[in-house]
Chain A
Amino acid sequence: DTGVSQNPRHKITKRGQNVTFRCDPISEHNRLYWYRQTLGQGPEFLTYFQNEAQLEKSRLLSDRFSAERPKGSFSTLEIQRTEQGDSAMYLCASSFPGDGTLAFFGQGTRLTVV
């Protein structure tokens, strides 16, 4: 296992289109997190899963965003009707359960909405 894997690395889409990103966590990690990072800012928490259960969603996650982790392994993040303000780096991280446990991050998917 080489770490957290995210695909695609880059995505350019036209405004109004739907996009989906995939995250494959480290295999023995049952927690999975999504963050969004805009230019010049730190990552902002979006949502997290423990196994297949989505346990928390940020207010940043509007109704155009949906995340799933159907079998407790990989996760997808879908953005419907993309807007220019959705342009950002979307980061996935995984960890063991526990508040102070180490989160390992993927390399991110950079979304550009034109």
Chain B
Amino acid sequence: AQSVTQLGSHVSVSEGALVLLRCNYSSSVPPYLFWYVQYPNQGLQLLLKYTSAATLVKGINDFEAEFKKSETSFHLTKPSAHMSDAAEYFCAVNSMGQGGKLIFGQGTELSVKP
């Protein structure tokens, strides 16, 4: 069975500081990994995805994530936080043969202080 663990339900950074949101996954087969962002009362918007190509994946709004198989991690980073980055972030896994359904972590709420 697949699972996702997001470390830290709430992360607070200052504007301009590095953003690091942690995600560890469990999968018995090679995974596809995703990061989504959700603003209040909105659906989910894809930030980036990993599908076994390059291990460093670049997404929208200067976000990127690195797939580390040895650590079963897929942490999300952004060099410089912006006030508009404040939102809920979800890591998700979809393993081969699962019909495309996503298994989500519990989410990390990012706050950005001025």
Contact = CB atoms under 8 A, between A and B. Distances in A.
A105 B44 contact: yes
A43 interface: yes
A85 interface: no
Given A105-B45, A106-B43, A110-B41, A99 B107 contact: no
Contacts of B9: 40
Interface residues of B, number: 29
Contacts of A105: 36, 43-45
A55 B99 CA distance: 8
22 contacts: A4-B43, A33-B100, A33-B101, A33-B102, A40-B9, A41-B107, A42-B90, A42-B106, A43-B90, A45-B101, A45-B103, A48-B99, A56-B99, A91-B43, A91-B44, A93-B44, A95-B100, A99-B98, A100-B100, A105-B43, A105-B45, A110-B41
Interface of A: 4, 6, 31, 33, 35, 40-45, 48, 50, 55-56, 91, 93, 95, 97-108, 110
Interface of B: 4, 9, 32, 36, 41-46, 49, 51-52, 90, 92, 94-107
Nearest to A43: B104
Given A43-B44, A107-B42, A108-B43, A99 B104 contact: no
A99 B106 contact: no
Considering residues B51, B99, B107, which has the most beta carbons from chain A within 10 angstroms of its beta carbon?
A: B99
Nearest to A44: B104
B102 A43 contact: yes
